A and B are shown apart, each in its own frame.
Chain A
């Protein structure tokens, strides 16, 4: 009986294993393979050696990613807490509102920010009516970060909210009974208990922010090249799969390292929720 169920579970799992091998392991293998070969398919370290040239782009991407993630965290944490304190019906509505923008394509939403932010755009023409001089917002680093925050904020709110909604409220009461004021309740009770949500939120915002390419092209005016832009260019424009793969490999390693650091925070404080 036992052996049969083991066999059964293996049979049931096999499509997923095939799927994982085909669409996760194989592409990863190709990324590594292309990184260490030239266009003729011979082994070379040239791709890796030219990477230092892209250091400024890497640094800019990482910094923009960090800033966008921190802003998301600052906005999302109180918001998730407020939502989790509402009645169940209100919670459902709020969660739906958070997800609402995701019903529309990411590309279209970013493109519309262009129309909002530009010098003759909606915000500036509104300011003009109020008699305020137009503010130059588009094609700046700030606009790129704004685009990241706007697009990835839901990925921060939802995991934090889902942890807070399941939070054992008797702990909070115990904290209050022990004489904690509201500051202490938040610091000693709510924050530690919601760390798993925060950690997965940070990962889910930081990873796409670092690797994004469309936002920086449209809102940064092409002057704030992120590493995603460079990678896209290698594949689409230059037909240099090898350099593109090498850049992607470094990006992946960076992301794995930052996720390892993040997981360190949630260590022993509950499992990561994604």
Chain B
């Protein structure tokens, strides 16, 4: 009896794949991918995951193609880059931002996409194609498009700020949040100074760093994702952040408002790419195509709250942010700049200057030198300067060490004394 059962089972196993194969003659290559795995690496909270009755994009993809999606997340471009570079991981699909895509193309980390396999690319309009980071549009398909702006709490900030300089306003001391990553933080200083975000001049970067040091007089709190917690709780008055995330915060705290400062803002894309050496490239292309299915793209746009570059989404009157003036502002209504990849030297300089900014403790007299003034701006000088705070720590540690050593000597002397006695 058992044997017959085993035989039938074996027969069933043999027949099952055959019947599937017969059923889908046309899509041979797609069917052959059934049961394979696709490794996707994306930002955290950056895909519709079935929460609150939304579409679970990865589950829907698995159901449609029978390809298992292994999904991991990161919280910034640099972490993603370091992880991929260190070689400990292998992914097929990754969704970095514009400047990082440019860098990854330059370093030969991305695979060209076969656009014949992406029929849904037709939904991406001309204005979102062939952008500076991928001029021939060979490596990437835009996933989101958004802006940085200034979020403020109307219960603390009476008059809507118009300038990034509000983040330097001593009236809001201790209640100002700031980006805890160099690229975005420097962009704000560069906007105020009217500089290009991607300049390769040492002096210009040092000037921007000096301005960020000036900001220390208002004791800004450097945050990443904690910005949600702090702004929603009314803990801070002002914070620069991404417009899409502002919409999420606004749902939880209606006191919050948003402006695009007059000096200009960072305009950015996150785009889906296939990594060089992807083990499942065909499945990766299926996934990229799937992300641009109108229903899927709509579900993602509703969930993420960032702008969608998919025409079928943003022209859909049922879309919650249809013609939303913050998410889809009129072109040219304010200044925008894209981040570009920069030379390794400039990137290294930016990191060093950022370390300086984080370490900087304002002295009392630089308080009056707010904005471009004061002797503090001499490039590199303040890194050498021993601040009052450092001196305090040095003295404290010195006293402590002196006490410890004195005690050791005392013990040693006592021991000798007792031995002699």
Give residues in A with beta carbon < 8 Å to B. Answer: 39, 50, 53-57, 59-60, 62-63, 66, 114-115, 118-121, 136, 139, 217-218, 221-223, 225, 229-230, 233-240, 261, 264
Contacts and interface: CB of A to CB of B under 8 A. Distances in A.
Given A60-B393, A63-B393, A136-B174, A236 B222 contact: no
Nearest to A235: B82
Contacts of B180: 217, 222
A234 B394 CA distance: 25
Give me the 8 closest cross-chain CB pairs, A-B, nearest first: A222-B222, A221-B221, A238-B351, A59-B393, A56-B390, A63-B393, A237-B78, A225-B358
A interface secondary structure, majority: helix
B389 interface: yes
A164 to B, nearest CB: 22
Contact of B229 (A60, A66, A114, A136): A114
B359 interface: yes
Nearest to A55: B390
Given A120-B235, A235-B82, A239-B81, A218 B226 contact: yes
A236 B78 contact: yes
20 contacts: A54-B355, A56-B359, A56-B386, A57-B359, A59-B394, A66-B400, A114-B229, A119-B235, A120-B234, A222-B223, A222-B358, A223-B219, A230-B355, A230-B358, A235-B82, A237-B79, A237-B351, A238-B347, A239-B81, A240-B351
B226 A114 contact: yes
B233 interface: yes
A233 B355 contact: yes
A2 B372 CA distance: 80
Contacts of A223: 216, 219-222, 358
A236 B78 CA distance: 6
B44 to A, nearest CB: 14
A143 to B, nearest CB: 11
Given A222-B223, A223-B358, 19 more contacts: A39-B344, A50-B352, A53-B356, A53-B359, A54-B359, A56-B389, A60-B389, A60-B393, A62-B397, A118-B233, A222-B221, A223-B220, A230-B355, A237-B181, A238-B347, A238-B351, A239-B78, A239-B82, A239-B85
Contacts of B347: 238
B85 to A, nearest CB: 7
In which size bucket is the chain B interface?
35 or more
A95 to B, nearest CB: 30
Nearest to B385: A56
B354 to A, nearest CB: 8
B400 to A, nearest CB: 6
Contacts of A62: 393, 397
Contacts of A233: 351, 354-355
Interface in B362-414: 383, 386-387, 389-390, 393-394, 396-397, 400, 404, 408
Contact of B182 (A120, A237, A261): A237
B230 interface: yes
B178 to A, nearest CB: 8
